Structure 1
Amino acid sequence: MDKLNTRAVVKVLEEKCHISTSDRLLVAVSGGADSMALLHLLDENGYQLAAAHCNFQLRGVDSDADEQLVAAFCEANNIQLYKTTFDTKIYAREKKISIEMAARELRYDWFDSLVEEHHYQAVVTGHHGNDSIETFFLNLVRGTGLRGLSGISFRNGKVIRPLLDFTRTAIEAYCNSNQINYCHDVSNDDTRFIRNKIRHEIVPVLESINPAFFETMQSNLEHLKDAELMLESEVERFIATDVVDEDNKVIIPISKLENYPHYASLLFEVLRPYGFNSSVVGEVIGHLHGLSGKQFFSETHRLIKDRHNLLVLPVEEIGVQHFWLDEGENSDVLPVKVRIYIKPDNFQFSRNPQLIHLDADLVELPLLVRKWKLGDAFMPLGMSGFKKVSDFFIDEKYSLKDKEDAWLMLSGEAIVWVLGKRIDDRFKVSNRTKRILEIELI
Structure 2
Amino acid sequence: MEKLNSRSVLKVLEDKCQISSSDTLLVAVSGGADSMALLHLLHQNGFELAAAHCNFQLRGAESDADEQLVSDYCALNNIQLYQTSLDTTAFAQEQKISIEMAARELRYDWFQSLIDQYSFQAVVTGHHGNDSIETFFLNLVRGSGLRGLSGINFRFGNIVRPLLDYTRSEIEAYCDQHQINYCHDASNDDTKFIRNKIRHEIVPILESINPAFFETMQSNLAHLKDAELMLESEVERFVSTDVVDEDNKLIIPISKLENYPHFASLLFEVLRPYGFNPSVVREVISHLHGLSGKQFFSETHRLIKDRHNLLVLPVEEVGVQYFWIEEGENKSELAIDVRIYTKPNDFQFSRHSQLIHLDADMVDLPLLVRKWKTGDAFMPLGMKGFKKVSDFFIDEKYSLKDKEDAWLMVSGEAIVWVLNSRIDDRFKVTNRTKRILEIELK
TM-score range, shorter chain: over 0.9
Query: 1:338 is aligned with what amino acid?
Result: I
| Number of the residue aligned with 2:340 | 342
Q: 2:375 is paired with a residue of what secondary structure?
A: coil
For 2:264, what is the secondary structure of its paired residue? helix
Corresponding residue for 1:179?
Answer: 179
Q: Shift in Å at residue 111 of structure 1?
A: 0.9
Partner secondary structure for residue 65 of structure 2 = helix
C-alpha displacement of 1:360: 1.2
Q: Name the stretch that deviates more: 320-329 or 139-148.
A: 320-329
Alignment of 1:108-119 (within 5 A): 108-119=108-119
Structure 1 residue identity aligned to 2:431:
N
Q: What is the rounded CA distance, in whole Å, between the counterparts of 2:341 and 2:29 in structure 1? A: 71
2:228 corresponding residue in structure 1: 228
Q: Equivalents in 2 of 1:20, 1:360: separation in Å? A: 72
How do 1:255-334 residues align onto structure 2 when only pairs under 5 Å count? 255-331=255-331, 334=332
Residue range with higher mean Cα deviation, 403-412 or 4-13:
4-13
Structure 2 CA distance, aligned partners of 1:318 and 1:64?
47
Pairwise CA distance, 1:110: 1.2
CA–CA distance in 2 between the matches of 1:98 and 1:426? Answer: 60
Instruction: Quote the Cα distance in structure 2 between the aligned partners of 1:239 and 1:431.
Output: 52
Which residue number corresponds to residue 82 of structure 2? 82
Shift of 1:433: 1.5
- After superposition, the C-alpha distances for 1:217-253 in whole angstroms (9 at most, x for unaligned) are 0000000001111111111111111111111111111
| Cα drift, residue 348 of structure 1 | 2.6
> More deviation in 50-59 or 388-397?
50-59
Q: How does 1:72-221 map to 2 (within 5 A)?
A: 72-221=72-221
Contact residue 340 and residue 440 of structure 1 kept, 8 A: yes
CA displacement at 1:329 relative to structure 2 = 3.9
Q: Secondary structure at the match of 2:393?
A: helix
Secondary structure in 1 aligned to 2:296? strand
CA shift for structure 1 position 343: 2.4
1:299 deviates by 0.9
Q: Any conservation in 2 of the 1:27–1:50 contact (CA below 8 Å)? A: yes
Mean CA deviation greater in 265-274 or 347-356: 347-356
What SS does the corresponding residue of 2:92 show, helix, strand or coil?
helix
Cα pair 1:363 1:427 within 8 Å, conserved: yes
SS in 1 for 2:14: helix
Retained in 2: the 8 A contact 1:2–1:166? no
SS at match of 1:423: coil
- The question of 1:355 aligning with 2:348 is answered no
Q: Which segment is superposed worse, 383-392 or 169-178?
A: 169-178
| 8 Å Cα contact 2:136/2:151 also seen in 1 | yes
Q: Distance in 1 between matches of 2:300 and 2:190?
A: 32
Deviation at 1:362, TM superposition (A): 1.2
The alpha carbon displacement at 1:344 in A equals: 3.2
Structure 2: runs of 5+ lacking an equivalent:
none
Alpha carbon RMSD of aligned pairs, Å?
1.0
Counterparts of 2:186 and 2:341, CA distance in 1: 78
Match of 2:375 in 1: 375
In the other structure, the counterpart of 1:428 is 428
SS of equivalent residue, structure 2 residue 69: helix
Deviation at 1:184, TM superposition (A): 1.0
One-letter code aligned to 2:340: I
CA distance in 2, matches of 1:114, 1:203: 36
In structure 2, the residue matched to 1:39 is: 39
| 2-structure distance, mates of 1:31, 1:166 | 18
Q: Distance in 2 between matches of 1:54 and 1:437?
A: 66
Judge conservation of contact 2:343–2:433 (CA < 8 Å) in 1: no
What is the CA–CA distance in structure 2 between the aligned matches of 1:295 and 1:421, rounded to whole Å? 25
Q: Which residue is equivalent to 2:50?
A: 50
Letter in 2 for 1:301: H
SS at 1:78's partner residue?
Answer: coil
**50-59 or 198-207: bigger deviation:** 50-59
Q: Cα offset for 1:270?
A: 0.7
Please give the alpha-carbon distance, in whole angstroms, between the structure 2 residues aligned to 1:339 and 1:182: 70
Does the 8 A contact of 2:26 with 2:49 survive in 1? yes
Distance in 2, matches of 1:61 and 1:103, equals 18
Alignment partner, residue 65 of structure 2: 65
SS of the equivalent of 1:330 reads strand
Task: Please give the alpha-carbon distance, in whole angstroms, between the structure 2 residues aligned to 1:343 and 1:35.
Answer: 76
Q: Decide whether the 8 Å contact of 2:301 with 2:314 is kept in 1.
A: yes
| Matches of 2:154 and 2:195, distance apart in 1 | 20
Give how far 1:143 is off.
0.4
SS of the residue corresponding to residue 382 of structure 1 reads: coil
CA-to-partner distance for each residue in 1:283-313, whole Å, 9 max, x for gaps? Answer: 1111111110111111111111100111111
1:339-384 CA-to-partner distances (Å, cap 9, x unmatched) read: 1121232243211010011111111111111111111100101111
Tell me the secondary structure at the aligned position of residue 75 of structure 1.
Answer: helix
Partner of 1:391: 391
Query: Structure 1: how far apart are the matches of 2:64 and 2:415?
Result: 68
